[in-house]
Amino acid sequence: MTDAQRGFTLIELVISLAVIAAIGAAAVGALAAVSRAAMPNVMRDGALMVAENALARARAAAAYVPVGDGAASTDPADASLLRPTPTAFTAGVRVPSIAACANAAPNADPSATVVSVAVTTAYAKNVFTVTVAYPRDRCSAASATAAVVLHETLAPPLYLPGHTITRGIADPATM
């Protein structure tokens, strides 16, 4: 047999398989690290959605057009949003993949979990501020918290409560 017809030896195959296994193990470890590093961003995005939702509700409450007798909104959440004193409530953020948590309950839904976040709103001089405090690590109740803060100047309402809207209707044209 000549050197041109020679194949791989068993030791060469074992070494190449060991190198491939080491690269695979490193890739799996890197994927896990990327997943753990992305979790604070998922929590921040959820907190940002809660803040934007509160801001949208404040815009709607500020632009509320009274109907009939000019009564204010009967929704307690809308009524409390535009108060000058800070208002606090708790919201839930649905976060995917609870299975990554070591302390997950055995019968928990592995596809998603709801994490509570603290929301504080304030309204002063037409500026609405919403602050959402969220845990950096959703798996640990004692983890450090971070916050998302949004400010927006709300336009004054076009129609104040009790304001009467009059419409003039022109006479029909005669032929």
Q: Torsions phi, psi of 82, nearest 5?
A: -100, 45
Over 70: is that where the pLDDT of 113 sits?
yes
Residue 158 within any structural domain of the chain:
no
Residue 167 within any structural domain of the chain:
no
Tell me the residue range of the domain where 16 lies: 10-153
Residue 53 within any structural domain of the chain:
yes
d(CA 165, CA 161): 11
Residue 166 within any structural domain of the chain:
no
d(CA 143, CA 140): 5
Residue 43 within any structural domain of the chain:
yes
> Whole-prediction pTM value?
0.59
Residue 165 within any structural domain of the chain:
no
**Count of domains in the chain?**
1
- Give the torsion through C-alpha atoms of 137, 142, 143, 147, to 10 deg: 100
Q: Is 82:62 a contact under the CB 8 Å cutoff?
A: yes
Mean pLDDT of the chain: 75
State pLDDT tens for residues 58-68.
888 777 644 33
Residue 18 within any structural domain of the chain:
yes
Which of the two residues, 29 and 63, has the higher pLDDT score? 29
